[in-house]
Amino acid sequence: MNILQLSKHMNDSGVNSHVIELSKQLRKLDHKIIVASSGGPHVEKLTDNDITHLNIDFISKNPITQIKNIHKLIKVIEENNIEIIHSHWRKTSIIAQLIKMFTGVNFVWTNHLNNIPSGLIHRLLTFYGKKAITVSSDMVPFLTSNLGISKNDIEVVYNAVDESAYNLLDIKEKNIIRSNFEIETTDIVVTLLGRLAPVKGHLFLIEAMRDIASKHPKLNFKLFFTGDGPDDYKNEIEQLAKLYKMDNQIIYTGYTDPVKILSVSDLMVLPSENEGFGIVCIEAFAMRVPVIRTNTGGYSDMKNYCIGIEYGNVEGLSQAIEDVISNEGLKTNMINTAYSFFNEQLTSDKMAKKILKIYGE
């Protein structure tokens, strides 16, 4: 099958992690994949896996530019005999809808995030083609009630990762990583995987760790904050950490290999205000790291394999962290059940085959 995927950009985001993983797996299954986006640092991950990337300026607000984009994409569709388009943003779905009018090529839309804007104009500009795919059952009521999409047109397909890329490191490799980050053997390492953005809840986590530190002053811990983001938000994090005298306990890794970070982590916390499913939770499951997360999008699907808390409930988050780091039996049980869930439902091979079935239909 010849498939065209549309993404606004190829910057750091869970959406693009999904686009890359889906493209890789479909390519392994001998399908032809073209990804069109405005570009970004992760284009290389596509080209390294023999996936064609087409630079299309979806970000531009210039209508003439978008008309040129449509013309260019129609030419690509005709030259490559594209059979289906898969859009991953609402904006690119508008383009897909217009292309369908000229070419007749059907498309599907994956909605990756819960509670996206849903006013009258947004509903009118929400196009999903033949199917609306969503990454969590939590998001189905929103799609039906707020966007008016028929439940019969919605398919739930969980995000996933390639299990072959998530292998446990040996002791020597772990010790090198711990040494590089100056992590002591007595340190408890708590990791927040994700870009530096307010929606990810870094300040919320700092408040919870301060609460724990006040009750357990002898507890040694390190916080890993991964990814990149705007300087003003990082400054806000640094100021709060300095206020609580925690600035020496936070390590900013930048964009990094999650396997290495998770290999030396005792716990992964995702305290987001809003999520779709949370690919970083899947990565932690795969690396046998217990997960605490807010009960936002995706939580209902993984609630039996992690601990859920309300966004902003500092006491609830601090208590959950204490429970995991102090109870080895709880920690072991969380790791084992989550790893089984990962193997059964969250591998990229299974995800790609489910989406391929939707394409076929």
249 in the same domain as 124:
no
Domain containing residue 140: CATH number: 3.40.50.2000
340 in the same domain as 261:
yes
Could you tell me how many residues make up the chain?
361
How do the residues of the chain divide into helix, strand and coil, expressed in percent and rounded to 5?
Answer: 50, 15, 35
Q: How many domains does the chain have?
A: 2
**What's the pLDDT at 344?**
95
Q: For residue 110, which of 124, 94, 128 has the smallest C-alpha distance? A: 128
pLDDT tens, residue by residue, 22-69:
999 999 999 999 999 999 999 999 999 999 999 999 999 999 999 999
Chain centroid offset of residue 230 CA: 19
26 in the same domain as 136:
yes
pLDDT above 90: residue 129? yes
**What's the pLDDT at 297?**
87
173: left (phi over 0), alpha (psi -120 to 50) or beta: alpha
* DSSP category for residue 152: G
* ∠ CA 284-285-289, rounded to 5°: 55
354 in the same domain as 246:
no
208 in the same domain as 92:
no
pLDDT tens, residue by residue, 309-329:
999 999 999 999 999 999 999
Beta strands 154-156 and 188-192 are unpaired
* DSSP category for residue 66: H
pTM, entire model: 0.86
193 in the same domain as 147:
no
333 in the same domain as 289:
yes
Share of the chain above pLDDT 70, in %: 100
Share of the chain above pLDDT 90, in %: 91
What is the domain extent for residue 87? 2-160+347-360
pLDDT above 90: residue 264? yes
Average pLDDT over residues 131-158: 95
Long-range contacts formed by 53-59: CB under 8 A, 24+ apart: 53/10, 56/6, 58/6, 58/7, 58/8, 58/9, 58/89, 58/91, 58/92, 58/95, 59/8, 59/9
261 in the same domain as 214:
yes
- Residue 243 corresponds to which tokens in the numbers above? 């206020």
